[in-house]
Chain A
Amino acid sequence: MGLKKMLVGLLGSVIAIGGFLEVATADLKFPMLVYRTGAYAPNGIPNADGFVDYYKMINARDGGIGGEKIVFPECETGYKTQVGVECYEKHKENAMVFQPMSTGITYQLIPKASADGVTVYSTGYGRTSAKNGKVFKWIFNAPATYWDGASIAVRHILKQNMGNIKGKKIALVYHNSAYGKEPIRTLQVLAKKHGYKLMLLPVDHPGQEQKATWLKIRKQRPNYVLMWGWGVMNQVAIKQASSIKFPMENFIGIWWSGSENDVMPAGAGAHGYKALTFNAPGDDYQVHKDIKKYVHDKGQASGDGSHFGTVLYNRGLFQAMVQVEAARVAQKIHGTSKITPAMYRDGMENVDLNAKRMEELGFKNFAPPFKNTCENHGGSGLAAVQQWDAKAKKWNMITEYMYGDSEVVDKLIAEDSTKYAKEQKIAMRCN
């Protein structure tokens, strides 16, 4: 037998054994769509590291979920929608849940995953009206949606102006993609309700050059700027805002525009910039202590461990925790540790992360409590405002967690989801 044949045989055996091992140990498969390369990697890496460290900790500390180990194969999407869909197709077999980490990918997966019977969890992103569990059986977006975010930002502005923002100008600087366009509808309705003027300023991918956008802002002098940005767009926008001396305390980003990465390049100029958040920064929580003990101290940290406690790392922890909790709930509901994707969905729909449960999980005061139900897949809708302190180089929470404008948001969600249900001929559930 020639060397070539031997090598081919050896390679075949390795692949076969690898495949066997994956099947044999794939007790609970949580595929990860990540972007550790490309233009959005600086955001994608800390978030993915949070997921991986949490899963590793659960496997090491608890022996998995109900005795079943978590496997979490990564698939690199580069934040590209088409690649994300390919990753889904590759890993959907026996997958418990997909976290697309991109609104564009989420939109593509909604009909596919619904047909395949796979849960999609887009934590605080994706299609807002997926909050309506009556229509979107397989899709979850708790704890808050972009429409919650938009109305919470406006509520914050209202509070600063004694409840009257009539005649004020609010600009939305947004990533010119499905993600960035998501809050426009809500902001338009809120503009009618409160009498402010809305300026829409799209920024094309990746957002490296925004001079014209900020010249427009400088000329038209909006009172407030809201930002739905991601990746380099955030850093350039914050730098440009500081450069034109826009008052940073009037510049508010969504929760994906409020990480340390976004503000550091602008240095002192970023001082006072605000962003919404539904999870706390910092590394002084029980979950961090457990991760340190069971993962980092054993030299198994994802990456170099340098993102530990950052905003996006912590968000990854939170997202992973909800996914793991959903599996636990599913095991309890169905009385078996060997749950199927359909059973997992039931678990996600019955997740109840109240304050006591959060504390048990090591997340005391880390995020506001929330509960999913058959009708509500979007959680509590609570978010707070955090502000960047450039001197101390840290985010400070400056408000309590607050609700958005449910009067506006709920109506829009009902309209949009009903329209989708009609288009897709989906029968309403939860009756």
Chain B
Amino acid sequence: MSVELLNFIETVINGLMSGIMYSLVALGFVLIFKASGVFNFAQGVFALFAALTLVGFQTGQVPFSHLINELFGTNFHNWYPSLHSFFAIILTIITMIVLAWLIEKLVLKHLVNQEPIILFMATIGLAFVLEGVGDLMWGSDVKVLDVGIPSGGSVWLENTTIGWASEGSEYYGMYIDVLNVWATIIAVILVTALALFSQYTKTGRALRAVADDHQAALSVGISLRSIWVLVWAISGFIAMVAGIMWGTESGVQFSLSLIALKALPVLILGGFTSIPGAIIGGLLIGLGEKLAEIYIGGLLDIGAIENWFAYFMALVFLLFRPQGLFGDKIIERV
């Protein structure tokens, strides 16, 4: 094969895998929007908060230690030296469930039947509050996150593909980050689990009923509030997974909340109400932006186009299919 073709295949694979990372963030948005009609602006901060909490539990950091030490002149920093990642993840999941319950109790409950824009504004407020609380709880330092997921280029793939290029050509083998492979596996497991849960469990069916029609679900005795807590908790769990993947890549720091911006074009493409849409949308955006950055950018000798190119793709798509690939068709009856 020619080196150009191999490089193109490498770009396509890496684009698709980056897209999976975006999908992990987009999934959380979709779940909440589907069940409650709320566009949760705080989803990126959820990922940040979950990752901060996970590292906090792993390292035994005392929450709010800065504040406590400042107020009482103490010198508390750590409860214990370290905790196994498995237990830290369990504790983080419990924290995210408690957070979901608090959000329902303190925010959503009081905004039932309000306009969607009010709920959206509430999630903006939530994002800033949660970011501030996260800062107070765990501090602003860059934190190293390691839950044992391998990362770095795959040596096996590189060695296997190095001989694929035509003889005499300069080729170094194909590059794929193992972390992205794991993200793909985890995303597949997550989507399968979500599909099975919503299809074959009583709670899952209730969740689908709420997503289809709130009023009808209420009339058959489904508790809207419990479903909301459940959905926000699941979305918190997904945020934790996204936080782990992104945090492993860059360390856990406050810029992690900006990954939500990566999910927006994915949602526009895939639709706000479709789980498969979030995955396909992510794949398309990841693929599109990487091809644009390397080939269009290379052709025009410009760089840093991938960020805005994702939105350009979303905008073009919006013109032809405003509901997204898998979103519910918008039908207005007169």
Contacts and interface: CB of A to CB of B under 8 A. Distances in A.
A39 B304 CA distance: 19
B58 to A, nearest CB: 14
| A interface residue count range (under 10 / 10 to 19 / 20 to 34 / 35 or more) | 35 or more
Contacts of A236: 249-250
Contact of B293 (A37, A212, A232, A244): A212
B110 to A, nearest CB: 26
Contact of B172 (A37, A212, A213, A218): A218
Contacts of B149: none
Contacts of B256: 208
A212 B255 CA distance: 19
A355 interface: no
A110 B141 CA distance: 31
Interface string A198-241: 00111110101101110110110100000000011001100100
B271 interface: no
Contacts of B18: 209, 211
Interface in B1-50: 7, 10-11, 14, 18
Contacts of A203: 303-304
B140 A42 contact: yes
Interface stretch (B65-73, B85-93, B118-126, B181-189): B65-73
A284 to B, nearest CB: 22
Interface stretch (A86-94, A118-126, A249-257, A298-306): A298-306
A153 to B, nearest CB: 20
Contacts of B290: 211-212, 215
Contacts of B172: 218, 221
Contact of B254 (A38, A239, A243): A38
B184 to A, nearest CB: 14
A245 B259 contact: no
A408 interface: no
B142 A215 contact: no
A55 B204 CA distance: 60
A69 interface: no
B140 A37 contact: yes
B140 A267 contact: no
Interface in B142-166: 142, 144-146, 151-153
A51 B307 CA distance: 35
Given A201-B303, A232-B250, A244 B175 contact: yes
Interface in A171-216: 176, 200-204, 206, 208-209, 211-213, 215-216
B250 A219 contact: no
Contacts of B251: 232, 235, 261, 264-265
Contacts of A45: 140-141
B197 to A, nearest CB: 30
B294 A265 contact: no
B218 interface: no
Contacts of A221: 172
B94 interface: no
A288 interface: no
A107 to B, nearest CB: 19
A212 B254 contact: no
A361 B306 CA distance: 49
A41 B259 contact: no
A396 interface: no
Contacts of B255: 38-40, 206, 208, 231-232
B250 A261 contact: no
A306 B61 CA distance: 14
A317 B308 CA distance: 39
A41 B254 contact: yes
Interface in A32-87: 36-42, 45
A264 B59 CA distance: 15
Interface string B111-122: 000000000000
A37 B135 contact: yes
B237 to A, nearest CB: 22
* 3 nearest A-B pairs in the assembled complex, by CB-CB distance: A265-B251, A39-B255, A212-B293
16 contacts: A37-B135, A38-B255, A39-B258, A204-B304, A204-B306, A211-B14, A215-B290, A232-B255, A235-B250, A239-B151, A239-B249, A239-B250, A242-B152, A265-B251, A267-B144, A299-B73
Interface of B: 7, 10-11, 14, 18, 65-66, 69, 73, 77, 131-132, 135, 139-142, 144-146, 151-153, 172, 175, 177, 246, 249-251, 253-256, 258-259, 262, 289-290, 293-294, 297-298, 303-304, 306-307
Given A211-B18, A232-B255, A244-B153, 7 more contacts: A176-B303, A203-B303, A209-B306, A212-B306, A235-B251, A239-B249, A242-B152
